[in-house]
C-alpha cells in the first residue's frame, strides 16, 4: 500500500518523481504529493487529493517545479480519510524534516502525546506526520545528525515503515529507513533512485540494492551508504533486475489487466520451463535452484499452504493436486488467520507461502511464525528480492514479470503452475508417480499455454455476455472439487473490479442456506470440468434453474453436452483434470474484466484496493 519514490542527481527531479509514481499508482491512488529541493532553498511541497493525474496537472507533469532532489508518494489511506491535508509528504513547521512513509505506526497516538508536550502541532490525522516530527525531535535534541535521529526514532516506533526523508541541513542527501515495508534503491551514473517497487525505476536503471529490515541509508547523487541501528555501515551487494521495460507499460492495451491476461500463455510456459529438465519422453521436475531437497520432501509430514486473496485460491486448487498426486495431507489457510490462531505445526511439516508481491503483511507474518516454530518454509513468489523471498528457507520464483493491474491474472496463473510442479516432485520422491507418469503430466502441462491462448482468442462471446449482464446485482459461482477452487477466484475477479456482488459456493452446499437467495433472473455460473462430479454438478445447476436462475455453464470441449441444461455455455479446451483451473479461470477473468468495462469502471485501479497489502 502506498507508493514511494525518491530521486537525487543531475536531472530535474519532479518529472522523474511523477513518472515513478505513475508506475506505482497500483499501490494506492487516493491522493499524491511531491517535495522537491533546489539546493539550499526550502523544499517545494505540492499535494493533491485524487488520482495522480490531478497532481500532474497541477505541476505541468513536474515541469513547473525546479530542483534536482525530491521525494514523492501516492497514498492508500490507513489513518485519516483521503484528503490533501492527509496526503504525503508531511513536514515540520520549519521544514527541517520532510518525509513520506509507507506502512503503519502502531503507537503513533502515544508518540503524538509526547510530541504535543514538546509543543509540536499536528494538522493531519496521519501516523506519518507523527513519525516525521519524532525524527525532528530527536534530530534537534541530540544534534547527532540524520542517521542518529532515524535510529532513535526506529527504536521508539512500533509497526511497519518504509521512510524517505529530507533534512534541511543536508540539501544533497536523502535518508531512508525500513522495517517490514518494501523499498529498493536504484543505482545510476551520478544519480540514484528510491522506490517501493521495481517498475518505478526500471526505465532508469536495472542495478538495485535492497535495504534490510531495521536498516537505514544515506542516498546522494554519488552513492548510497547503508547503516544498521547502531549507526555502523553495512555492505550491500548490487543486484541486477532482468524484467524488461515494456513489461511495465500497457503496450497498446487499454488496461494493464487485459495486457496481463494476454501475457498468460507466455509467462505460464516460461514458468513451466524454468522448473523442468530433459526432453519429451524424459521430462523431470527440477527444484534445484530453490534449494529444496529430496530429503526434506521425504521426511515432510504435511503441508500448510498459507496466503491471501487470489494466492489463497491458488492454494485451494493446489490442495486437491498435492493430495491426489503425492498423498500428503494439505491444509490451506488464510495468512491473516494462520498468524493468530496458534497453529499446531509438526516439526517436519512444510509451510508454503504463496505471494505475488512477496510483501503482503499477513503472509510475511505467517512465514515468520512458521520459522519461529522451527518449521521449514517454501515461498512461491513473483518479485525477486522481496521480503518473503528473502526470509523463506527456499524460494520458487514465478516468471510472471511485473504485474500492475490490481486484479491478479498472470501471477495467479504462474503460481498454479509452480504448485503443480512441486506437487509432482513430491509425488515422484515419495514414490506415488513414476518417471513416465511425471513426464506425461509435464507434457500435458506444456500444452496449457496454447489452450489458454484459444480461450483468449474466443473472448468476444464473453464480451457480449458481459454487456448483457452489466446490470447484474448478484452472481453466484458454483462448482465441486477443483472447480469450486476455480469459482472462488472467478468470483473474486468479478467483484473486485466490477463491484457486482458475487459469491462462490461449493455446489453441494447451496441447499444448506444459500439457495434461498436464488430468484428470477439471478445469474449462476456453474463450472464443470471434473468427470467424476459432472452428474452431481448438473443436478445442482438444475436445482437453481428451476428456482429462476439464469445459468451460464463452463465446461470442456467434447466432454459434456451442457447445452440442454444451461442458458449460455462456455467451452474451454480439455486438459488433465488436475490442471483444469489453469484453463477454466481464463473465461472468468475475461468476464470480470468485460463486466467492469461495460460498467465504465477503472479496471486497473478498483476503489478502496491496492495491489500490495503491506498493512494488516
Task: Establish if 496 lies at the interface with ligand M6R (CB under 6 A).
Answer: yes
- 276/308 with CB nearer ligand M6R: 308
> Of 14, 130, 194, 308, which one interacts with ligand M6R (CB under 6 A)?
308
* Binding footprint of ligand M6R, residue count (CB under 6 A): 16
- Written as one string, the DSSP assignment of 55-99 is HHHHTTTTTT---SEEEEEEE--SSS-SSTTTSSPEE-TTSSEEE
- 413/556 with CB nearer ligand M6R: 413
**Catalytic status, residue 2:** yes
- 25/49 with CB nearer ligand M6R: 25
- 201/308 with CB nearer ligand M6R: 308
CB-based contacts of 527, cutoff 8 Å, min separation 6: 477, 478, 479, 483, 486, 487, 490, 537, 554, 555, 584
- 326/380 with CB nearer ligand M6R: 380
Task: Establish if 309 lies at the interface with ligand M6R (CB under 6 A).
Answer: yes
* Integer Cα distance of 397 and 418 in angstroms: 8
Task: Establish if 418 lies at the interface with ligand M6R (CB under 6 A).
Answer: no
- Which grid cell sits at 110? 502515544
Q: Which alpha helices (H) appear in 121-255, and where do they start and end?
A: 127-142, 145-156
In whole angstroms, how close is the CB of 387 to ligand M6R at the nearest point?
11
Q: How far is CA 409 from CA 6, 249, 281, 400, in A?
A: 29, 16, 31, 9
> Which residue among 2, 69, 300, 396 is the active-site one?
2
Task: Establish if 613 lies at the interface with ligand M6R (CB under 6 A).
Answer: yes
Q: Which alpha helices (H) appear in 469-531, and where do they start and end?
A: 482-498
The DSSP bridge partners found for residue 312 are none
Task: Establish if 8 lies at the interface with ligand M6R (CB under 6 A).
Answer: no
> x-or-dash pattern for ligand M6R, window 315-354, by CB under 6 A?
----------------------------------------
> Of 407, 424, 524, 596, which one interacts with ligand M6R (CB under 6 A)?
407
Binding window for ligand M6R (CB under 6 A); candidates: 58-66, 138-146, 403-411, 586-594: 403-411
> x-or-dash pattern for ligand M6R, window 39-58, by CB under 6 A?
--------------------
Q: Which of 70, 71, 68 shows the shortest CA–CA distance to 9?
A: 68
In whole angstroms, how close is the CB of 358 to ligand M6R at the nearest point?
7
- Written as one string, the DSSP assignment of 20-45 is HHHHHGGG--SEEEEEEE-TTSPPEE
In whole angstroms, how close is the CB of 306 to ligand M6R at the nearest point?
10
Task: Establish if 612 lies at the interface with ligand M6R (CB under 6 A).
Answer: yes
Task: Establish if 126 lies at the interface with ligand M6R (CB under 6 A).
Answer: no
In three-state secondary structure terms, 391 is helix
Binding window for ligand M6R (CB under 6 A); candidates: 275-283, 305-313, 549-557, 575-583: 305-313
Task: Establish if 356 lies at the interface with ligand M6R (CB under 6 A).
Answer: yes
Placement of cell 491522493 in the chain: 31
> Of 135, 330, 406, 528, which one interacts with ligand M6R (CB under 6 A)?
406
Task: Establish if 408 lies at the interface with ligand M6R (CB under 6 A).
Answer: yes
* Integer Cα distance of 234 and 517 in angstroms: 60
In three-state secondary structure terms, 490 is helix
Q: 59-87 burial, b for 16+ CB within 10 Å, e for fewer?
A: bebbeebebbbbbbbbbbbbbbeeeeebb
Task: Establish if 355 lies at the interface with ligand M6R (CB under 6 A).
Answer: yes
> Which residue among 23, 133, 459, 611 is the active-site one?
611
Task: Establish if 363 lies at the interface with ligand M6R (CB under 6 A).
Answer: yes
- 311/326 with CB nearer ligand M6R: 311
* Integer Cα distance of 233 and 404 in angstroms: 35
In whole angstroms, how close is the CB of 100 to ligand M6R at the nearest point?
22
Task: Establish if 211 lies at the interface with ligand M6R (CB under 6 A).
Answer: no
Q: How far is CA 437 from CA 281, 282, 285, 292, in A?
A: 10, 10, 12, 22
In whole angstroms, how close is the CB of 613 to ligand M6R at the nearest point?
5
- 415/530 with CB nearer ligand M6R: 415
- 59/415 with CB nearer ligand M6R: 415
> Of 31, 78, 86, 357, which one interacts with ligand M6R (CB under 6 A)?
357
Dihedral (C-alpha) 261, 263, 268, 270: value to the nearest 10 degrees? -170
- 388/552 with CB nearer ligand M6R: 388
Q: Which residue is nearest to ligand M6R (CB)?
A: 309
Total residues found in the chain within this entry: 616
CA 226 to chain centre: 27
Contact 267, 399 (CB under 8 A): yes
Burial class (CB within 10 angstroms; exposed 0-12, middle 13-18, buried 19+) of 608: exposed
In whole angstroms, how close is the CB of 370 to ligand M6R at the nearest point?
15
- Written as one string, the DSSP assignment of 550-596 is EEEEEEETTT---TTT-SEEEEE----GGGHHHHHHHHHHHHHHHHH
- 187/306 with CB nearer ligand M6R: 306
In whole angstroms, how close is the CB of 419 to ligand M6R at the nearest point?
13
**Left (φ > 0), alpha (ψ -120 to 50) or beta: where does 379 sit?**
beta
Q: Which alpha helices (H) appear in 458-528, and where do they start and end?
A: 460-468, 482-498
Task: Establish if 311 lies at the interface with ligand M6R (CB under 6 A).
Answer: yes
Task: Establish if 24 lies at the interface with ligand M6R (CB under 6 A).
Answer: no
- 348/616 with CB nearer ligand M6R: 616
Task: Establish if 360 lies at the interface with ligand M6R (CB under 6 A).
Answer: yes
**Catalytic status, residue 611:** yes
In whole angstroms, how close is the CB of 5 to ligand M6R at the nearest point?
20
In whole angstroms, how close is the CB of 576 to ligand M6R at the nearest point?
25
In whole angstroms, how close is the CB of 335 to ligand M6R at the nearest point?
8
Task: Establish if 387 lies at the interface with ligand M6R (CB under 6 A).
Answer: no
In three-state secondary structure terms, 165 is strand
- Written as one string, the DSSP assignment of 351-369 is EEEEESSS--HHHHHHHHH
- Which grid cell sits at 438? 511425471
In whole angstroms, how close is the CB of 36 to ligand M6R at the nearest point?
31
Enter the DSSP assignment of 399. Answer: -
Task: Establish if 590 lies at the interface with ligand M6R (CB under 6 A).
Answer: no
Dihedral (C-alpha) 571, 573, 577, 582: value to the nearest 10 degrees? -90
In whole angstroms, how close is the CB of 420 to ligand M6R at the nearest point?
18
Placement of cell 506415488 in the chain: 432
Q: Which residues are catalytic?
A: 2, 611
Kindly list the residues in this chain that would bind ligand M6R in the complex (CB under 6 A). 308-311, 355-357, 360, 363, 406-408, 492, 496, 612-613
Amino acid at each position: 500500500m502506498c507508493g514511494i519514490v525518491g530521486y537525487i542527481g543531475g536531472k530535474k527531479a519532479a518529472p522523474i518523481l511523477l513518472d515513478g509514481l505513475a508506475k506505482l499508482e497500483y499501490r494506492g491512488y487516493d491522493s499524491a504529493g511531491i517535495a522537491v529541493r533546489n539546493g539550499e532553498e526550502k523544499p517545494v511541497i505540492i499535494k493533491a487529493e485524487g488520482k495522480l493525474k490531478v497532481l500532474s496537472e497541477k505541476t505541468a507533469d513536474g515541469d513547473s517545479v525546479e530542483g534536482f532532489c525530491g521525494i514523492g508518494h501516492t497514498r492508500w489511506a490507513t489513518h485519516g480519510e483521503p484528503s490533501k491535508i492527509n496526503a504525503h509528504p508531511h513536514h515540520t513547521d520549519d521544514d527541517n524534516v520532510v518525509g513520506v512513509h509507507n506502512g503503519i505506526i502502531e503507537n503513533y497516538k502515544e508518540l503524538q502525546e509526547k510530541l504535543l508536550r514538546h509543543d509540536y502541532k499536528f494538522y493531519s490525522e496521519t501516523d506519518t506526520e507523527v513519525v516525521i516530527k519524532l525524527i525532528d525531535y530527536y534530530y534537534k535534541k541530540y544534534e547527532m545528525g540524520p542517521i542518529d535521529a532515524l535510529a532513535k526514532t526506529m527504536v521508539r516506533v512500533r509497526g511497519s515503515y518504509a521512510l524517505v526523508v529530507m533534512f534541511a541541513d543536508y540539501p544533497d542527501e536523502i535518508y531512508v529507513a525500513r522495517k517490514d515495508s518494501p523499498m529498493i534503491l536504484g543505482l545510476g551514473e551520478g544519480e540514484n533512485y528510491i522506490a517501493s517497487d521495481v517498475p518505478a525505476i526500471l526505465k532508469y536503471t536495472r542495478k538495485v540494492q535492497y535495504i534490510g529490515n531495521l536498516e537505514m541509508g544515506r542516498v546522494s547523487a554519488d552513492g548510497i551508504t547503508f547503516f544498521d541501528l547502531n549507526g555502523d555501515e553495512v555492505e550491500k551487494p548490487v543486484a541486477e533486475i532482468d524484467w524488461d521495460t515494456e513489461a511495465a507499460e500497457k503496450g497498446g492495451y487499454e488496461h494493464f489487466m487485459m495486457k496481463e491476461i494476454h501475457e498468460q500463455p507466455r509467462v505460464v510456459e516460461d514458468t513451466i520451463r524454468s522448473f523442468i529438465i530433459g526432453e519429451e519422453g524424459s521430462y523431470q521436475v527440477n527444484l534445484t535452484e530453490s534449494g529444496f531437497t529430496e530429503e526434506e520432501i521425504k521426511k515432510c509430514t504435511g503441508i500448510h499452504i498459507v496466503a491471501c486473496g487470489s494466492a489463497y485460491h491458488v492454494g485451494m486448487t493446489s490442495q486437491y493436486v498435492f493430495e491426489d498426486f503425492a498423498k500428503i495431507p494439505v491444509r490451506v489457510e488464510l495468512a491473516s488467520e494462520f498468524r493468530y490462531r496458534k497453529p499446531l505445526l509438526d516439526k517436519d511439516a512444510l509451510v508454503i507461502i504463496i505471494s505475488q508481491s512477496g510483501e503482503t503483511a499477513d503472509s510475511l507474518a505467517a512465514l515468520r511464525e512458521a520459522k519461529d516454530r522451527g518449521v521449514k518454509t517454501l515461498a512461491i513468489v513473483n518479485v525477486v528480492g522481496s521480503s518473503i523471498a528473502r526470509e523463506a528457507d527456499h524460494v520458487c520464483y514465478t516468471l510472471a514479470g511485473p504485474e500492475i493491474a490490481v486484479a491478479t491474472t498472470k501471477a495467479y496463473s504462474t503460481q498454479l503452475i509452480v504448485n503443480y510442479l512441486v506437487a509432482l516432485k513430491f509425488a515422484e520422491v515419495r514414490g506415488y508417480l513414476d518417471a513416465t507418469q511425471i513426464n506425461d503430466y509435464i507434457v500435458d502441462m506444456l500444452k496449457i499455454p496454447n489452450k489458454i491462448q484459444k480461450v483468449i482468442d474466443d473472448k468476444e462471446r464473453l464480451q457480449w455476455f458481459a454487456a448483457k449482464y452489466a446490470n447484474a446485482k448478484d452472481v453466484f459461482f458454483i462448482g465441486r472439487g477443483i472447480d469450486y477452487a476455480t469459482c472462488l477466484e472467478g468470483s473474486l475477479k468479478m467483484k473486485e473490479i466490477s463491484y457486482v456482488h458475487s459469491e462462490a459456493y461449493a455446489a453441494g452446499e447451496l441447499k444448506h442456506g444459500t439457495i434461498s437467495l436464488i430468484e428470477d433472473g439471478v445469474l449462476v455460473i456453474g463450472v464443470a470440468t471434473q468427470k467424476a462430479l459432472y452428474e452431481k454438478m448438473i443436478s445442482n445447476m438444475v436445482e437453481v434453474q428451476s428456482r429462476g436462475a439464469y445459468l451460464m455453464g463452463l465446461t470442456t470441449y467434447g466432454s459434456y453436452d451442457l447445452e440442454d441444461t444451461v442458458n449460455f455455455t462456455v467451452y474451454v479446451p480439455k486438459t488433465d483434470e488436475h490442471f483444469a483451473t489453469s484453463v477454466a479461470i481464463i473465461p472468468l477473468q475475461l468476464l470480470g474484466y468485460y463486466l467492469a468495462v461495460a460498467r465504465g469502471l477503472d479496471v486497473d485501479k478498483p476503489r478502496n484496493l491496492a495491489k500490495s497489502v503491506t498493512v494488516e
